[in-house]
Structure 1
Amino acid sequence: MRIPKLASVFLLMACLVAYLTYVKWHIEGIKPALFKVPYQHSGTESDDDKQTSPDLSSDRFQYGIMFDAGSTGTRIHIFKFLLEENEPPKLSHETFKAIKPGLSAYADDPDKCREGIEELMEVAKGTVPESLWNSTPLVLKATAGLRLLPGEKATQLLDKVREVFEESPFLAKGDSVSIMDGTDEGISAWITVNFLIGELNDSDGATVGMLDLGGGSTQITFSPQDKTIQTSPIDYITSLQMFNRTHTLYSHSYLGLGLMSARLAILGGVEGQPLGGSQELVSPCLSPDFEDRWEHAEVVYTVKGQKAGEPVYESCYNKVEKVLYRKVKKAEEAKEMNFYASSYYYDRAVDIGAIDENIGGVIKVNDYSEAAKKVCNSIVETPQEHPFLCLDLTYISVLLQELGFPKDNVLKLARQINHVETSWALGATFHYIESLSRQQMTEHTGKEDKMAALSAQ
């Protein structure tokens, strides 16, 4: 009787080894991997794109679909990644399309938002091979437009989007539709830039910091040293896993300090609480003879320049300092690092001729300050094409110094790197796919543990 018992034990062990080998192979098969083909960008994939791509089976590719639901429009990014074993991914191709208006325009009639989402969904169906539809993550992240809406209206809009997503053939999970908070925006933009410059995959590489100045909020994100980690507020420090590496980041979003919200505060208005009566705002940052209408967050204000007194720049600077007083934490380490800056940092640098609108460039913090002085002190005699430029430049220069950037610090400004937009969309897609991969691995590990436990019994 001893021989059959031993044979049974060996047979059971052999089955267990075979199962664990299969699980290990299957888990490794879902890990992200690195592209070996050059990036090519266009609205759709052309015949030339197909000819220059290697002849690989479709299971070597991973697609990700990201809807960017902003305040002025909704944009779809369809990213194509090429996978190779035990390597992080590289971007092969991007398909992009934008429609207007943004979701928030349908706040009073949510059903109308379906048409635009369905239109963009057809773009995704025409881009992603049908065999990969059910494994392609589908995500929508809403930003400023929905953040400003009352909670109930925002929820109704997102529910309509979820209906369309659930009807689609793509991989839509419970967290596929959401409002993105400012910190996530900053982190995702940081991922995008560092991936595109090749530092995210380099274990010895020095990552760069990221500054973003939007309309309602502004973000700063960088990889800090131990001293900064120990001395910063706990909610400023976060960790994320990306391509089998853990990154510790200093990241914070200052809500209400985006350029448009700050402009309102400098003019004397209050976000979400429009003035009664004529809603008239008077500011020393505008030409003394200036009067016009300005709309912000669906409120129309009459804005006027303050009558001449002390020099315009000094008056404006003092007003900006009061608005920013004790609202920003200085990041001492920032002055020792390389930073990219985007959005209104870029736009205002274009306005003063510091960089080329199409290719970007570099700018010193002091260049914003000197341009502010020049513009502010000339608006009394010279009518301005951009009446808010004095205010905006002064605000940017003071904000950067409050964040910890000396006047001689140099910032890199780029809308695109290697023909890829430096927006948060690519980084958010990477992060989401990584999260799905970890979730799948956890599920498989759980099944493995259960099998081992059953075998032990």
Structure 2
Amino acid sequence: MDKISRKTRHETVYDKIQRYRGAILMISVPVILITLLCFLMPSRIPANSIESFPRKFAPNPKTRGYAVIFDAGSSGSRVHVFCFDKQLDLIPIGKELELFVQRKPGLSSFANDPKAAAHSLLELLEKAEAAVPKELQHDTPVRVGATAGLRQLDGDTPDRILQAVKDLLKNRGTFKSKADWVTVLDGNQEGAYQWVTINYLLGNLGKEYPSTVGVIDLGGGSVQMAYAISDADAAKAPRVSDGEDTYVQEMYLKGRKYNLYVHSYLHYGLEVGVSGNLCILSGYNGLYKYGGEEYDASAVSSGSSLNPCREAANKALKINEPTCTYMQCTFGGVWNGGGGDGRKNLFVASFFFDRAAEAGFVDPNKAVAKVRPADFEDAAKIACQMKLVDAKSRYPRVDPDNLPYLCMDLTYQYTLLIDGFGLDPNQEITLVKKVEYQNSLVEAAWPLGSAIEVMSSKT
């Protein structure tokens, strides 16, 4: 009986399947077809709903990285935020290639209150934090480079202010910070970072060193030269005494090592380079102030004259003094780096561009201009023959405070290029104020170079 019942139940189930198979097919086939169609149709995801989908469908934040650079100058503090892709190309932040915010006064204005000095950066730090996505902040380097303002403070005041800034960044804990990333930049560092900036914007980094350009930057108190040299010339670099800056820095940029010759010539800037009444335009009587000192700046009765002014410039540069103990020197007994392909193409910045534009031999509305050192001499010949009253109408772009010194400035610049750095008078050089990059004009300034260096060390 058991055998009969089992057989009956089995046949009953089978009979049921057979009996309803038509209905099963009618239901299952459309379901399968609809499912297949839904799978094959392209999905339509609203543009504003990307964050609600799994992370693999969202842009990968690792394809970009940020760097925050504080430029703590004498007149104020500035923050630069840059964004790079994996190839270290700049990515716009909003509509600009960088976030730039500034405030006054500078850190040096808080000499008696280091905590207040550090706190003065807080507003800028908050702006930088708002520009960097939260998920990337912990891996975003922040650097603070103080310049002329802190250099001039006495005693341990600069160190106490820098320590307060380090404490601020550490306690805030937003960005990645190291103690040696908060420092007073010397002229060599500024020169090196500007070399990096210009070559980066030109697309030269990552190439062999002969494809890079050299940089000369003339400021008020100093002049810097920087260019890449060969391994052989780097090995020949003179040893320096303890406490002195080395001539060659090794830099690793976009996957390549560069031997960068860089030297900052302190007290050889445009504002302190030459003293000599024979360089002052006729008709001016006054005093010249620099570094807390006053100097007589009255013109002689015969007015300014090119040749005596050239002699004064050579004397200021110590061209003829036997102070050079190396085979090749620039001026003031300084090794010249050995020359080579890295300095064949020179970009010359700051006051060189400004005076050339004011003297009228380059277009002030252009970002770059091709000139020869001889152009400075030609302009000086004209300026040195003029009286101050006539120069006012001839040179409307020159600031009235600078006009009496136009002969001096142009003569010094020519002498610096020819006798100081040994350029040929007819060699083509590029005066630069800004560099075009991705259809935008970018300032040829050191913070971008600092950002590129710190980002290169991460790749």
Instruction: Verify same fold: TM over 0.5.
Output: yes
1:340 deviates by 0.8
1:205 deviates by 6.7
Checking the alignment, whether the CA contact within 8 Å between 1:350 and 1:356 is kept in structure 2 is yes
- 1:180 and 2:185 equivalent? yes
Checking the alignment, whether the CA contact within 8 Å between 2:283 and 2:389 is kept in structure 1 is no
- TM-score, structure 2 length as denominator? 0.72
Q: Which residue of 1 aligns with 2:301?
A: 308
Is the alpha carbon distance of 1:133 and 1:98 closer, same or farther for their aligned partners in structure 2, counting shifts above 3 Å? Answer: same
Post-superposition Cα deviations, 1:2-29, rounded to whole Å, max 9, x if no partner, equal: xxxxxxxxxxxxxxxxxxxxxxxxxxxx
- 1:387 and 2:404 equivalent? yes
Q: Which residue of 2 aligns with 1:409?
A: 427
Of 310, 313, 317, the residue aligned with 1:320 is 313
> Sequence identity of aligned pairs in percent?
31
Equivalenced residues, count: 363
- TM-score, structure 1 length as denominator? 0.73
1:79 maps to amino acid = F
Partner Cα distance (2:114, 2:308) in 1 = 45
Q: Which residue of 2 aligns with 1:6?
A: none
Partner Cα distance (1:323, 1:381) in 2 = 28
Checking the alignment, whether the CA contact within 8 Å between 1:284 and 1:305 is kept in structure 2 is no
Checking the alignment, whether the CA contact within 8 Å between 1:289 and 1:304 is kept in structure 2 is no
Q: Which residue of 2 aligns with 1:73?
A: 76
1:287 deviates by 2.7
1:220 maps to amino acid = M
Query: Runs of at least 4 residues of structure 1 off by over 6 A?
Result: none
Q: Which residue of 1 aligns with 2:26?
A: none
1:203 deviates by 4.6
1:339 deviates by 0.9
Partner Cα distance (1:334, 1:311) in 2 = 37
Of 339, 342, 359, the residue aligned with 2:349 is 342
Is the alpha carbon distance of 1:382 and 1:227 closer, same or farther for their aligned partners in structure 2, counting shifts above 3 Å? Answer: farther
Is the alpha carbon distance of 1:251 and 1:300 closer, same or farther for their aligned partners in structure 2, counting shifts above 3 Å? Answer: closer
Partner Cα distance (1:165, 1:75) in 2 = 16
1:398 deviates by 0.8
> Match of 1:388, SS?
helix
- 1:431 and 2:453 equivalent? yes
- 1:333 and 2:339 equivalent? yes
1:334 deviates by 6.4
Q: Which residue of 2 aligns with 1:82?
A: 85
Partner Cα distance (2:310, 2:107) in 1 = 36
Is the alpha carbon distance of 1:199 and 1:387 closer, same or farther for their aligned partners in structure 2, counting shifts above 3 Å? Answer: same
Is the alpha carbon distance of 1:106 and 1:300 closer, same or farther for their aligned partners in structure 2, counting shifts above 3 Å? Answer: farther
1:249 maps to amino acid = L
- 1:399 and 2:406 equivalent? no
1:222 maps to amino acid = Y
Partner Cα distance (1:331, 1:379) in 2 = 41
Checking the alignment, whether the CA contact within 8 Å between 2:107 and 2:118 is kept in structure 1 is no
Is the alpha carbon distance of 1:210 and 1:317 closer, same or farther for their aligned partners in structure 2, counting shifts above 3 Å? Answer: same
Checking the alignment, whether the CA contact within 8 Å between 2:279 and 2:304 is kept in structure 1 is no
Partner Cα distance (1:349, 1:383) in 2 = 15
> Match of 1:284, SS?
helix
1:196 maps to amino acid = L
Is the alpha carbon distance of 1:433 and 1:226 closer, same or farther for their aligned partners in structure 2, counting shifts above 3 Å? Answer: closer
- 1:283 and 2:277 equivalent? yes
Is the alpha carbon distance of 1:371 and 1:241 closer, same or farther for their aligned partners in structure 2, counting shifts above 3 Å? Answer: same
2:138 maps to amino acid = N
Partner Cα distance (2:208, 2:260) in 1 = 15
1:408 deviates by 0.7
Partner Cα distance (1:331, 1:406) in 2 = 17
Is the alpha carbon distance of 1:61 and 1:421 closer, same or farther for their aligned partners in structure 2, counting shifts above 3 Å? Answer: same
Partner Cα distance (2:84, 2:338) in 1 = 37
1:227 deviates by 6.4
Partner Cα distance (2:281, 2:149) in 1 = 30
1:134 deviates by 1.3
- 1:64 and 2:67 equivalent? yes
Q: Which residue of 1 aligns with 2:152?
A: 148
Of 196, 200, 208, the residue aligned with 1:195 is 200
2:409 maps to amino acid = D
Checking the alignment, whether the CA contact within 8 Å between 2:280 and 2:304 is kept in structure 1 is no
> Match of 2:180, SS?
coil
Partner Cα distance (2:381, 2:58) in 1 = 58
Q: Considering only CA atoms, is the larger Rg found in Structure 1 or Structure 2?
A: 2
> Match of 1:291, SS?
coil
1:114-263 equivalence runs, <5 A:
114-168=118-172, 169-203=174-208, 206-225=211-230, 228-229=233-234, 232-234=237-239, 235-262=246-273
> Match of 1:389, SS?
helix
Is the alpha carbon distance of 1:112 and 1:64 closer, same or farther for their aligned partners in structure 2, counting shifts above 3 Å? Answer: same
> Match of 2:226, SS?
strand
- 1:367 and 2:378 equivalent? no
Checking the alignment, whether the CA contact within 8 Å between 2:213 and 2:227 is kept in structure 1 is yes
Is the alpha carbon distance of 1:124 and 1:206 closer, same or farther for their aligned partners in structure 2, counting shifts above 3 Å? Answer: same
Consecutive unaligned residues of structure 1, counting only runs of 5 or more, are: 1-53, 268-281, 439-457
Checking the alignment, whether the CA contact within 8 Å between 1:162 and 1:177 is kept in structure 2 is yes
Q: Which residue of 2 aligns with 1:103?
A: 107
Checking the alignment, whether the CA contact within 8 Å between 1:285 and 1:305 is kept in structure 2 is no
> Match of 2:268, SS?
coil
1:77 maps to amino acid = H
